[in-house]
Chain A
Amino acid sequence: MSVNGLDFSIAIGGAAGQGIATPGNILARMFGRRGLHLYAYNAYQSIIRGGHILLTLRVRDQEVLSHGDAIDLLLCLNQDTMDRHLGILGPGSRVLYNSDKVEPGEPPDGVVLCPMPVAELAGDSKNKLIQNTISLGVMMSLMGVDFSVLEEALELLFKRKGDAVVEENVTKARGGYDHAAANFEPFSVPLPEGPKPLAMWTGNSALAMGGAAAGVKFYAAYPMSPSTGVLHWMAQHAHELGIMVRQVEDEIGVALMTIGAAHTGCRAMCATSGGGFALMTEAIGAAAMMEIPAVFITVMRAGPSTGVPTKTEQGDLWQVLGASQGDFERFIVAPKNALDAYNTVAELFNLADRAQCPGIIISDLLISEGTYSVDPDVIEIQPEIDRGDLLLDPSPNGNYLRYADTESGISPRVPPGIEGFVHVVATDEHDQDGVIISDEFTHPHKRRRSVEKRARKFQGVAADCPPPTLEGPEDAEVTLVGWGSTYGVIREAIEILAEQGLVANQFAIKWIVPFHAEVVEEVLSSAKRVLIVENTHSGQFARYLRSETGFSAHGHIRKYDGEPFAPHHVVEGVLDLLKKSEAAVHVPYQEIIV
């Protein structure tokens, strides 16, 4: 624990089924209540029992931008964890393990072993997960936190299970706490307290809650990692918040149910991952053709095909860009963290409603399943809601043209059920009145008018999307470009580079469509050296950037092993690429094997 600002990481390793989530949650909540910032990344596998999980919780006294480069406290719930990770620990770090069952091996210099005699400390407890509770007691002691903090957390967590369970957990945690106080040297600086308590959420819960705040009344999904958290949040809050939540037979049905509900005037949303999104693609074009606004979320994982379901990647960019046949308008946006994801949902719904077209959010495992602290006061509970030209008042007039060819291209939309506006929407090309012009009434001039009308309305609304901005000093030696989830780790890498005397800045892309090509080209062409950081092998984003702007970067830092960038990966990539005279690709080495 450094004296100059808190930066402290705890990692808990074990097998699936060993109950890592519970101590993880207790610690996260405790840090939040203490007013400390947190980001937690859980490296796990697609397995319900066994395998290896490593949960990293990083705590700071300022915003946590990534899971970081170091582990200060490693809790090994099994031998496997010890064998895998002991070697990567640095001086001053502590390793907790059950000395009855786990052999420590040879620690690197300065690493302090903290053996816990779990059988002795557990006493007569029959609870198989009691070592987690004991470990929490030990950790509190090492971090210099008063035991009452843990006692309160345990009471809160276990009160539903009755006094006996609370009593047992508190007693055993106390045993661990006292054992540590008597036997282990605590970290030199005790865990501080921040100015005010912080809340905790995952990217998925932020997306779901963002939907609720934006007025989503219909949510559909088929379970698919790493997007399932959105479904779980929605299902849990459906009744309380009046949101219809449906688990559907496949993602084709998901997307089309969403569109059906959206057509009646609901704000409707769905989420999936790449494989499910592939099934949704035809529907997205249908929404565009019928001019029905709806929001589709896709949470990327490592592909192709089933790929690595529990690992992160940014390899679905071109899938999303190419989703659905034909030439049509839709928004595509990639938030950079949980809070941004929350805010983006309402923002996107407003744009989609105004332009009457689909909106797509690209998240990834790193954002969606990551746990972030958030200042509760910055969560905008009632974001601005703009439904565009949605009419709900009956009219006796009867001369309604659903697809009226207006100057803006926006045709006032009236959902079914409203008297006086009866019309048919179609996925076939159609005239202003909705009558299809794909068979008997095919007409090239009408077709051209329809295509231009849809393009015009989109361009008008898209002009309100904010262009990307350069973050950091303008005259930097290096400009790092990323999109979506790499925002945080790039920002942190830039801080580290600054400490080493290298001035870098970041140009983070959030809006994929509209891309603001002119702004992007202008910024990048005046930068000294542009390096693109992305989680793909082939450089999907680099290709997209080139296709939209003609700009080719001076180097690439690419990671595609399933694990996210740590700050030092980016730092090393920058330093390596600066030595090259021609554009090259730097691929960081993943040290932590999970």
Chain B
Amino acid sequence: MSTAESTAEMIGLELVRAPESPKEFKGKVAPDWCVGCGDFGVLNALQRALFELGLKPHEILCVSGIGCSSNLPGYLNAYGMHTLHGRSLPVATGAKLGNHKLNVIATGGDGDGYGIGGNHLMHTARRNIDITYLVMNNQIYGLTTGQISPTSRPGMKTKSTPEGNLEYPINPITSAIMNGATYVARGYSADPKHLTELIKKAIEHKGFSLIDVFSPCVTFNLDNDFAFFKPRIRKLEDEGHDPTDWKAACEKAMAWGDEIYIGLFHENDRPSLDSLEMVLDEGTPLARRPLGLSKEQGEKLISRMM
């Protein structure tokens, strides 16, 4: 059974026409990103992945934080929540637990996810809830007009670091693996076909998936632009990398020089939170269950108070 059929059946709806092209996943308005922004490639890859998986817009909830890339849900024909800076993951987690039949996708940038929201990433990874997290990593704060981000390289000169960045960047891949994420990948927005495949697999993966995507900012980060990445990008699948080998994955993820790897670094089948949670065993999403206590439940509670 495809993801689409199973989801629709579980929500209790009859199957209707699935979108006939990725274009049907376009939102009400067109993106207002700068011309040439890496985020276009990510949005296109996501729309294509959703189309190729045969999903329907109402079966998807896309949750973002704040920042240029966090505007994405507005450009996607799916249920969306454009929440607070750094907070997409707890909102997405609550939504997934409230209705675990939804395909929940969180999106945002590196400042949003690795900076202000970094604590949530650590805990969402170890929780291993079945959501897919797409981080458009441009190694800069764009919407605030160009300051260092947690993934900016040492020495980088920005408006907040005129003498150069003194801090060491976070490595999202090794961090996610160390914290227990069960699907950890890196994509490149200029390779949408490759990214589409990563997103499809991430959505199908039962557990927390992080895809860190190099999505260059053409306005504020001229150090890590398309010209920087193009000659350096290597694909893990071309190297015969074994995603079950987390140590090798970490070694590959640390590479940052002439060779920078994209692809699926690590995957394992540790059960997801929602699959372990007994309260969801009944099957019906919490949000669709009858409210309140039965007389018997109430009487039992009161008898324990006597």
Closest to A439 in B: B32
**A427 in the interface, Cβ–Cβ < 8 Å?**
yes
Q: Report Cα–Cα, A253/B84, bound state, in Å.
A: 11
Q: Does B229 lie at the interface of the complex (its beta carbon under 8 Å from any beta carbon of A)?
A: no
Q: Which residues of B contact A387 (CB under 8 A)?
A: 291
- Chain A: interface residue total (CB-CB under 8 A): 81
- Contact check, A416 vs B58: say whether CB atoms are below 8 A apart: yes
B298 at the interface (CB under 8 A from A): yes
Which residues of B (34-55) have their CB < 8 Å from a CB of A?
Answer: none
Q: Nearest Cβ in chain A — how far from B298, in angstroms?
A: 3
Check if A416 sits within 8 Å of B79, measured CB to CB.
yes
Q: Decide if B186 is an interface residue (CB 8 Å cutoff).
A: no
- Give the shortest distance, in Å, between B272 (CB) and chain A (any CB): 14
* Contact across chains for B29 and A435 when beta carbons are under 8 A apart: yes
In the complex, chain B residues whose CB is within 8 Å of the CB of A433 = 28
Interface mask (A390-433 → B, CB under 8 Å = 1, otherwise 0): 00101000000000000000000001111111111111100001
Binary flags per residue of A238-252, CB closer than 8 Å to B gives 1, else 0: 111111111011101
Knowing A244-B277, A419-B58 are in contact, say whether A265-B83 is a contact too (CB < 8 A): no
Is B169 in the interface zone, CB < 8 Å from A?
A: no
* B74 lies within 8 A of A424 (CB): yes
Q: Residue B123 at the A interface, CB < 8 A?
A: yes
- Which of B13, B57, B299 touches A381 (beta carbons < 8 Å)? B299
Q: Which residues of A contact B11 (CB under 8 A)?
A: 417
**Closest partner residue, chain B, to A422 (CB atom):** B57
- Indicate the member of B63, B285, B292 with the most A CB atoms within 10 Å: B292
Q: Are A382 and B298 in contact (CB-based, < 8 A)? A: yes
Find the B residue at minimum CB distance from A32: B306
Which residue among A217, A267, A379, A425 has the maximum number of chain B CB atoms within 10 Å of its CB?
A: A217
CB contact between A259 and one of B73, B77, B94, B280 (< 8 Å): that residue: B94
- Of A199, A215, A239, A416, which is in contact with the most chain B CB atoms at under 10 Å from its CB? A416
On whether the beta carbons of A268 and B292 are closer than 8 Å, the reply is no
A253 touches B16 (CB 8 A): no
Mark each residue of chain B from 49 to 90: 1 if its CB lies under 8 Å from any CB of chain A, else 0.
000000011110111001000010110111111111001011
Judge if B1 is at the interface, Cβ distance under 8 Å. Answer: no
CA distance A425 to B74 in the complex (A): 9
Interface residues of A in 108-131 (CB under 8 A from B): none
- A220 & B94 in contact (Cβ 8 Å cutoff): yes
Q: Which A432-474 residues sit within 8 Å CB-CB of chain B?
A: 433-436, 439-441
In which size bucket is the chain B interface?
A: 35 or more
Residues of B with C-beta under 8 A to A385: 291-292
By the criterion CB–CB under 8 Å, are B295 and A261 in contact?
no
Residues of chain A with a CB closer than 8 A to B288's CB: 265, 392
Query: Is B260 among interface residues, defined by CB-CB distance under 8 A?
Result: no
Closest residue to B291 on the A side, CB-wise? Answer: A215
Interface with B: A177-185, A186-194, A206-214, A582-590, which one?
A: A206-214
Of chain B, the residue at the smallest CB distance from A264 is: B98
Q: State the Cβ distance, A291 to closest chain B Cβ, in Å.
A: 12
8 A Cβ contacts from B94-151 to A: 94-99, 101-102, 119-120, 122-123
Interface of A is mostly: mixed
Smallest beta-carbon distance B124→chain A, Å: 9
| The residue from A282, A376, A440 contacting B84, defined by CB atoms under 8 A apart | A282
| Residue A262 is within 8 A (CB to CB) of chain B in the complex | yes
On chain A, the residues within 8 Å of B27 by CB distance are 424
Is the Cβ of B29 less than 8 Å from the Cβ of A417?
no
Residue pair A265, B287 in contact (C-beta under 8 Å): yes
Other-chain contact of A435, B59, B74, B120 (Cβ < 8 Å): B74
Interface residue from B76, B77, B99 paired with A264 (Cβ < 8 Å): B99
Any A CB within 8 A of the CB of B278? yes
Which positions 188-202 of chain B face chain A at CB distance < 8 Å? none
* Alpha-carbon distance between A265 and B291 when the two chains are bound, in angstroms: 11
Known: A260-B90, A424-B28, A435-B74; 15 extra A-B contacts, CB below 8 A, are: A213-B293, A217-B98, A242-B286, A245-B279, A253-B87, A253-B93, A259-B83, A260-B92, A260-B97, A261-B97, A261-B286, A265-B288, A422-B78, A422-B79, A424-B82
Closest 3 CB pairs of A and B: A260-B94, A215-B291, A381-B298
Q: Which residues of B contact A (CB under 8 A)?
A: 11, 13, 16, 27-29, 32, 56-59, 61-63, 66, 71, 73-74, 76-84, 87, 89-99, 101-102, 119-120, 122-123, 277-280, 282, 285-289, 291-293, 295, 297-299, 301-302, 305-306
Chain A residues engaging chain B, CB cutoff 8 angstroms: 29, 32-33, 197-201, 205, 209, 212-215, 217-218, 220, 237-246, 248-250, 252-254, 256-268, 282-283, 286, 290, 374, 376, 379, 381-383, 385, 387, 392, 394, 415-428, 433-436, 439-441
**A-B contacts, 6 listed (Cβ < 8 Å):** A246-B97, A253-B93, A260-B93, A264-B95, A425-B80, A433-B28
